[in-house]
Amino acid sequence: MPADDGNGRFEDELIGLDPHDPETQAFAEHLDRMQRPNSKATVEGMLQGVDDFAQCANRTAGHRRVVVVLVVTLILVGVLFTVWNALAFVLDTFLR
């Protein structure tokens, strides 16, 4: 995303910064995410939150990366445990 999106929305915040600088562009993207009106109660809003998390996770390094991998692993283990229990319940119910 360019630092200035054409309509001057972040013009005041980016005064004196090079619009082609990657850090300036990242700051403009951060400002855009802060002002995004998506509700977290919609599917689109939830998926946007997952996308933001994934993009932030890809930029991390060191111990933060380990924490992100641990959180994602715990989420996947929880999902697999729930699916396994549901499948076991269904099979137990129908095969009795």
Q: What integer pLDDT is reported at residue 72 of this predicted model?
A: 92
Q: What integer pLDDT is reported at residue 38 of this predicted model?
A: 64
> Tens-digit pLDDT profile for the chain (96 aa)?
444 444 466 777 778 888 888 888 888 888 877 777 666 677 777 777 788 888 888 888 889 899 999 999 999 999 999 999 999 999 999 988
Best CA proximity match to 24, nearest among 8, 9, 52, 2: 2
Best CA proximity match to 13, nearest among 35, 45, 39, 40: 35
Q: What integer pLDDT is reported at residue 31 of this predicted model?
A: 82
Q: What integer pLDDT is reported at residue 39 of this predicted model?
A: 65
